[in-house]
Structure 1
Amino acid sequence: MNLRLASILSFFTLALTLIVGLGMDTRQSVAAPAGTTDQLTYLPFVAKAPDLFITNLEISQSVQDANNTVPLVANRPTVVRVYTATSSGNSVPNTSITLTATRNGVALTPVTSGVKTASGASSRSSLSSTYNVTLPADWLSGTVLITAKVTGEPIGSFTKLVTFNTVPTLNVVLVPINYTHTPTGVTFPGPNSDGISDWIMRAYPLSNMNVTLHPNGMNFSGNLREAASWEQLLNDVSQLKDNDIDFYSPTVYYAYIDFDCGWFNCSTGGIAGIGWIGFRAAVGFDHPSTEVTGELAGHEIGHNFGRYHAPCGVSGDANYPYTGASIGQYGLDGIGGSLELLSPNDYVDMMSYCDPVWVSDYTYEALYTDQVNNGALVWAPAEESLVVRGSVAEDGAVSLNPVYILPQTAVNPQNGLYEVELLDTAGNIIATHSLDLLIAEEEGVSAQAIHGVVPAPEVPVAELRIVEVASGTAVANRTLSTASMAANATLNQRSETATVSWGIADVPANVRYTVGNGQTWTTVGLNVLGGSLDVDLSNLPGGGNGRFQIILADQGTPTRFEVALPTPLADKQPTAWITGPNVVSTGAPAELYAFGSDAEDGALRDFAWSVDGEAVDADSALFLHELAPGEHVITLRATTSSGQTAVTSKVITVAP
């Protein structure tokens, strides 16, 4: 054999043997060097290190920074962005990522991404450059150790320890406003559906939200093209909350008006809403677009959570950290649907006046802190208390509203910028209590008010005196009646209406209704004069033991009268609805939320789900994975405490 030819053949033999050996994952290779026919040489196997590395895990629920410092909420839909890189910078086709997790050493359900081309250099600015994996529901609580690795590769894993924090449920009462536009005399009926929960659940740090549709709503007459009417409406809604439950309750009272160019100046724009900063009552309009309605509610309720404006299109929070109200970090919308990456170069914070909006990490963390601290306050037992309210003009003048004595929980004020002195018939100070200054500001309108719930003393109160703490100056006073006020309350019930009468025409009175022995109240009249009130019974809660309560204003001692409804009202039909995506991609999960409201029970919590006719086990949130391409009918049944049901359905299309 020719030596050169033998050498060449020997080289190819060696190369072929090594290639075959590596391809078959053998642990040794064998070759016969040139010129040797009676000896085998064993070469050590060298495993080829994979040229694909996981460089980071970013865990997001609405917005997140690169270091994962934005807190995570338990049982909230969550996406992990898995970042990859290669030493060569080249992409790697036909690759998937497997995530495993443990909690307290116990393994959780693993999840594997879809197969795609792995990026050689993932970027935060490119959603397609990362593997975006929605976590299983059983991962979303407690402290979890997440491990990511390239599927099929024994080495190169990346771990991240994360904690999912419990956040109290957000309770919202939607108050429809039956608005009469006084310049035209046209009345716009209040909205009768929820247009805010979908956006708020996507953007806010929440895992659950209860929505109650106020059974009676509220009538309001004014001109909402003018600031003064918005200020008055906000004060009225605040008083409604005071009379229904308690102004300081963590429940948000959000009143909304049907949007219509008949009252809103659609050509030049105008005021769209207003809410107290740090106190949970607000007003906005219900736009035909639920996205617009939700964004507006997110903004106004953001004020209720203590947020000031982000500086774009409006003067804002001096501590806001990003120029032009940018959201600062990358946001994710459509988790559990059509995932969308929101760039801080394009999106501004929801507390600004610019578009398009999302929530910044700065605002998100503040919302989280406020709801954790205030969303589930434990209330002390109610006691007879004076509810003190008044408006504050731009020049500082204070006008006191009628004062009511109600069983409420006296609370420590947030700022205590005013005080109320309670005086007896001789002019002596019985007690002094701090009051809050409430502030609301939007472009074209600002409102200030004082508010406080203070214990009623054992002796009659003859006068209230309001003192500005900074100056020590008395700025307002109101005289209360110490004479015993007697009335014979009567009721004339008809089929759908009733007239409640108490005969004291010149004293304002609040009127409310209960069927739960006073555990819950529905206000039907505020500051009513004339000694009687016609009531529409068609929307009031049904059931036995229904009665009206008349609370007289400006009394030095508790003065309330009650009259029973002779014929019990029938239970009202509950309503139910589903929020979530209409379209998802094949392989992507779908996450849906259940809502229900009932005149008798308020927000419903007893839910049953089915998918294409098959029952599934879920509560208020339904997490669906691996739906087949095509249309799927999701059905929700909500049940009241009396056994009444409301059924609704939603069609989800899984696009191939």
Structure 2
Amino acid sequence: MANPCQFLQDQADELEQQIQDLTDELPELPPSARAAVRAEIARLRRQLSTVRGRLRACNVDPTPFLLQMDGIEVTQAIQDMRHSVALIAGKRTAVRVYLSYYASPDIQVRGELLARSASGAFFTIASTNQPLLSSANAGNLRPKRLNASLSLNFILPAEMISTGRWDFSLNSLLKVSTGSPLTVARPITQRVTFVNGAPLRVRVLGVRYSTGSPAVQHIPSDLDYNLLFSWLRRAYPAPQVIATRALIDISSSAPPVFGSGDVNAQLAAIRALDVSGGADKRTHYYGMVSDAGFFMRGSAAGIPGSPDPSTVASGPTGSATWGWDTDGSYGDWYGGHELGHTFGRFHPGSGCGESSDDPSFPYPNGQLASDDSSYCGFDVGDPALGIIPAALPGTLWHDVMTYCQRQWLSAYTYDGIRIRLTAENALPAGAAPGAGGAPDRRFPEHLQLSKETGENLINVVARVNLTRNEGKIQYVHPVAAGASETILSVSPVLLRFKTKSGELLNEYRVPVKLDSETDQRGEVTGLVDAILPASPEARQIELMIGETTTDTFRAGGRVRPIKSVRKLKEPNAMGLSWEHDAVAEEGTSYVVQASTDEGETWFTVGVGLKTPEFRFDAKQFPGAKRIHIRILATNGFAQTVVQSEVFEVPR
């Protein structure tokens, strides 16, 4: 059995060493400094005498020392006993009290935590569990940190996680079987500071698609969305996750078995339209695809080296466990991985199959920690989803940017995303334009494009393969003045604006946001997402890679006004159809946007539509009472807009 007096012996040994070090140093000091050092030696000797007295008493009768406190850890997702990981005000927080009991039989305890703020306010809170204290673990901190059931845990309420300094200590401890109070030797007060953090803004678009004959539709489940939002709240370094969701149909131009590159192109076009419609430009967009029809490997359209919320990403979701995930959906940590790329995080090269792009990653094999005495992950849980708090051992769990099993955020990734979130939050009303892509292909030489009077802003989205010199323009839409303009770079990709007859008007070298995941052939692919000024005479856009013209977009005919909009009368869906004042000319496509705030902001729910009708599910607007819908008809360079009647959401 462990010795309950050992901590006193350790204290005595440490004091003796300090006294010896100062005594050895004394002859080397100038005479003027020796008096202060002698005073410190005298103080340490008095302290040593007290400790030796307690040690002698403990050796005679250890009973008062049988129950001891080993430490207090304040954690939100990942932490060490030195509390080197920043604590974010407003983020769900756990306090773990570690106790040792040096007697038999084992005892079960419950307790009360005391919290004191720097202003002097104090609060108490009861423990959320009743751990069994066993002499087998006495004096050994490791098993208690690695198992949440072996520590005395407290989940702090909102009033105890405000900005500033806080002191946490154990206010009382009771034996569960009798309700009698217990005295804890070696009580500890842990002082920490909560700092301000920045919110995570994310819009998740579920992608609806069909497979088979007869066709079967596939969409993410409510659980997929809820677990993703919950995981981001629990794992990411943000006090608040401002999350919205919607459902979109995969583009009719996408192949039957589409990839994340196809989804990311669609997301980029939608995001540009949303920002043009008043959406917060600091919002990250993520596409989620059910694996019920097929498995779509995820990716981000770039790994930006500076704050750039316009970088989009997408990934799969479903109920597979991957050998370790039993909560019903793997879309949570998978989404955390792809979104991590949009915050500038690279693959660490763990040996689990991902690329090795981050030589600064500090832990072996992609782990959360080098050993179990340093960092330990902690999932604070989510009662609404039945997720209980759990310790995540640092040598067993892996960083979310790996491809390994058991994924969470290491302190390295946690702090990196925290810093990026803070930088993004400081952007004026949203994101500044960024080049995106991996740093070795970001084409750093750039200049700021100036818009000439009378020119329109056009968003061009294209997919490119730089290995094969292939590319395809997928979306072209006009956007409102004031939207972010792209910073041009030295780049192999060129967009050329021409008149209908082929006369060159402007040409711009545009950045490429390289895909975060390479394909099986190792080819370099990416996304062009550029907002550029176009002359009113522009009717064509050529996409060039090197000296090769890989695709040409030609504007449709004149965009005719929409004269009428009708609600569709269907029992299980909400929808509308519309007509022009004459037959719509070839090349006309449609965008459908919705507003739940009486037209203050508009979010895109359909893009690249070829037929004049649209159906949507009111469930994608949780909490909304009224939905405004507007239709944008465009030929790529010009558009008309009409607003429908208001839809009342059924209760």
Q: TM-score range by the shorter chain?
A: 0.5 to 0.7
Determine which of 198, 208, 220 is the counterpart of 1:191. Answer: 220
**Residue deviations 1:561-603 (CA, integer Å, cap 9, x gap):** 13343xx3432147xxxxxxxxxxxxxxxxxxxxxxxxxxxxx
Aligned to 2:615: 536
* Alpha carbons of structure 1 residues 460 and 68: separation in structure 2 relative to 1, 3 Å: farther
Alpha-carbon deviation of 1:389? Answer: 1.6
Matched, 1:64 2:79: yes
Give the residue type in structure 1 aligned to 2:142: R
Q: Does residue 391 of structure 2 align to residue 341 of structure 1?
A: yes
Match of 1:354 in 2: 404
Helix, strand or coil: the match of 1:214?
strand
- Paired with 1:103 and 1:241, the residues of 2 have a C-alpha distance of 43
List aligned pairs for 1:448-459, cutoff 5 A.
448-456=525-533
Q: Do the aligned partners of 2:315 and 2:334 also contact (CA within 8 Å) in 1?
A: no
Question: 1:283-306: CA deviations, max 9, x gaps?
Answer: 323437534232322233233333
Is 1:81 matched with 2:164?
no
SS of the counterpart of 1:456?
Answer: strand
Q: Which amino acid aligns with 2:346?
A: Y
Alpha-carbon spacing, 1:291–1:369, altered in 2? closer, same or farther (3 Å)? farther
* Structure 2 match to 1:409: 483
Moved more, 362-371 or 492-501: 492-501
2:358 corresponds in structure 1 to: 318
The one-character-per-residue Cα deviations of 1:6-40 (angstroms, maximum 9, x if unpaired) are: xxxxxxxxxxxxxxxxxxxxxxxxxxxxxxxxxxx
Q: Which has the higher helix share?
A: 2
In structure 2, the CA distance between the partners of 1:171 and 1:216, relative to structure 1 (3 Å rule), is same
Deviation track 1:395-429 (CA, whole Å, cap 9, x = no partner) reads 23333334221116215559875665665769676
Cα 1:323–1:85, aligned 2, differ >3 Å: closer, same or farther? same
Match in the other structure for 2:457 = 385
Is 2:239 aligned against 1:239?
no
1:383-532 paired onto structure 2 within 5 Å = 385-393=457-465, 394-407=467-480, 409-411=483-485, 417=491, 432=508, 434-441=510-517, 444=520, 448-456=525-533, 460-461=537-538, 464=541, 478=552, 485=558, 487-491=560-564, 493-496=566-569, 497-502=575-580, 503-514=583-594, 519-523=600-604, 525-529=606-610, 532=611
8 Å contact 2:115–2:123 — kept in the other structure?
A: yes
The letter of the residue matching 1:186 is A
Q: For 1:467-495, what per-residue CA distance to the aligned partner results, in whole angstroms no more than 9, with x for missing partners?
A: 77xx8x676674666x9935242335254
Q: Determine if contact 2:90/2:239 at 8 Å carries over to the other structure.
A: yes
Q: Which runs of 5+ in 1 are unaligned?
A: 1-45, 265-269, 575-656
Contact 1:76/1:140, CA 8 A, preserved across alignment: yes
Q: Which residue pairs with 2:572 in the alignment?
A: none
Q: Deviations over 1:534-574 (max 9, x none)?
A: 22266498858754221221x3xxx1113343xx3432147
5 Å matches for 1:121-132? 121-126=139-144, 127=147, 130-132=151-153
Query: What displacement does 1:510 show?
Result: 3.2
Given the alignment of the two structures, is residue 134 of structure 1 paired with residue 149 of structure 2, yes or no? no
Task: Verify: 1:102 aligned to 2:125, yes or no.
Answer: no
- CA distance 1:116–1:438, change in 2 (3 Å): same
Give the Cα separation in 2 of the matches to 1:419 and 1:259: 33
1:18-97 alignment runs, 5 A limit: 51=65, 54-83=69-98
Aligned to 1:551: 634
Structure 2, unpaired ranges of 5+: 1-52, 59-63, 173-181, 304-310, 321-326, 370-374, 433-450, 570-574
Contact 1:441 1:447 in 2 (8 A): no
Corresponding position: 1:214 with 2:243:
no
Is the aligned partner of 1:249 residue 2:312? Answer: no
Deviations 1:27-56 (A, max 9, x none): xxxxxxxxxxxxxxxxxxx98686366454
The residue aligned with 1:614 is none
Which of 278, 293, 303 is matched with 2:331 structurally? 293
CA–CA distance in structure 2, aligned partners of residues 238 and 276 of structure 1: 9
Structure 1 window deviating more from structure 2 (516-525 vs 194-203): it is 516-525
State the number of aligned residues: 506
Q: 1:381 to 1:323 in 2, by over 3 A?
A: closer
Q: Give 2:18's aligned residue.
A: none
Kept in 2: contact 1:424–1:461 (CA 8 A): yes
Task: Quote the Cα distance in structure 2 between the aligned partners of 1:194 and 1:208.
Answer: 20
> Contact (CA 8 Å) 1:385, 1:406: kept in 2 or not?
yes
Name which one, 1 or 2, has greater alpha-carbon Rg: 1
Distance 1:59 1:168, change over 3 A: same
Partner deviation per Cα, 1:186-236 (whole Å, 9 max, x = no partner): 232423524222333232223332433316655668666x5x544323322
Shift of 1:92: 10
Q: 1:228-287 deviations in whole A, cap 9, x for unaligned?
A: 544323322332333334699333333333442xx33xxxxx544333344233132343
The answer (yes or no) to whether the contact 1:61–1:79 under 8 Å persists in 2 is: yes
On the 8 A contact 2:75/2:95 being kept in 1, the answer is yes
**In structure 2, distance between residues paired with 1:517 and 1:458:** 33
Query: SS in structure 2 opposite 1:440?
Result: coil
Residues of 2 paired with 1:538 and 1:526: CA distance?
16
Does the 8 Å CA contact 1:176/1:255 hold for their aligned counterparts? yes
More strand by share: 1
User: What SS does the aligned partner of 2:517 have?
Assistant: strand
- Would you say the 8 A contact 2:299–2:314 is kept in 1? yes
Structure 1 residues 202-211 or 517-526, which shifts more?
517-526
Q: 1:315/1:546 Cα in 2 relative to 1: closer, same or farther (>3 Å)?
A: closer
Question: What amino acid sits opposite 2:77 in the alignment?
Answer: S
User: How far does residue 109 in structure 1 lie from its aligned partner after superposition?
Assistant: 0.6
Higher RCO (C-alpha 8 Å, min separation 6): 2
2:594 and 2:604 in contact (8 A); partners too: no
Kept in 1: contact 2:68–2:184 (CA 8 A) = no
Q: Which amino acid aligns with 2:602?
A: W
Deviation at 1:89, TM superposition (A): 10
Sort the Cα spacing of 1:513 and 1:342 in 2 relative to 1 into closer, same or farther, 3 A. closer
Whole-angstrom CA distance in 1 between matches of 2:568 and 2:503: 50
Measure the CA separation in 1 of the matches of 2:139 and 2:519.
45
Equivalent residue number for residue 145 of structure 1: 166
Q: Deviations over 1:319-373 (max 9, x none)?
A: 3333322222321124466332222332223333332333322222233223222
SS in 1 for 2:84: coil
| Alignment partner, residue 589 of structure 1 | none
> Is contact 1:465-1:474 (8 Å) kept?
no
1:372 is matched with 422
The SS at the match of 2:264 is: helix
Contact 1:435 1:451 in 2 (8 A): yes
- State whether structure 2 residue 413 is matched by structure 1 residue 363: yes
SS of structure 1 residue aligned to 2:268: helix
